Amino acid sequence: MASIVGVLISWKLFGMAVFIRLMFDTYLRPSEAYRLTAGSVIRPRPDGALGYGHWALIVNDACFDRPGKTGEMDESVIVDNQSIWPLLEALVHGKCPIDGLWTFAPDEVRSMFRRAAAALGLETELTLYSLRHGGASDDLLSLRRTRKEVKDRGRWRTDQSLLRYAKRARMQQRIANLGQNIVEFGEQVDRQMNDLIIQTTASGVFPLQVPLAVTPTPPAVRPPPPQITARWAFA
């Protein structure tokens, strides 16, 4: 996931990079992630009161009368990865609550996700939905969350549903088969994502060596505005 995010940042597709990272961390379905609006992103309390000190997402917001796959609305997901909080702040900056977070179409992010994976020589069957599987499996494999916590976070109603998604041994097998250069690149991107976006925006050059198996033609991107800021870089 992080290596794919790195490729997207190197192509200056910053919004798509944040989209992928957020999906992985929160186990959102692609349609749920794409439908997020500025009003769906909830800031923590300024005083950091116990239980209210994290960013959060309202999934399948009832204001739009669009239930999720299971028919539920107004589901909640806590964003406890503090490294992406500045990205959320940038995404909602200057937007009205009903404004969407993203400036790309669903088919565009699907296409670029597959294209970035192919450039790294990863499995061709990877899809955006793989991020829901991967996030849950990673949290279980790393012991970051208990099985119940993962089940609640993924909003799975039964243990059987969870077992279909959270495949720890399969993930361990896939990671073991990755080239060491891809693993190390992903680890660097995971640690420095915010800084990489700012540096790439400011200089126009991605500062890391991307371990491409294939060298595709990077997609055309809009030129930055005259005054480059960190907020613009994230957004």
Q: What is the mean pLDDT of residues 100-113?
A: 93
Q: What pTM value is reported for the model?
A: 0.82
Mean pLDDT of the chain: 83
DSSP letter for 222, please.
P
| Residue-wise pLDDT tens digits, 193-212 | 999 999 999 999 999 999 98
Q: What is the mean pLDDT of residues 147-175?
A: 77
Above pLDDT 70, what percent of the chain?
79
pLDDT over 50 (residue 156):
yes
d(CA 146, CA 140): 7
| Residue-wise pLDDT tens digits, 17-38 | 999 999 999 999 999 999 999 9
Q: Give, in order, the Cα–Cα distances in Å from 63 to each of 2, 26, 92, 109.
A: 33, 21, 18, 25
Instruction: Give residue 158's pLDDT.
Output: 78
| Residue-wise pLDDT tens digits, 1-13 | 999 999 999 999 9
d(CA 128, CA 179): 22
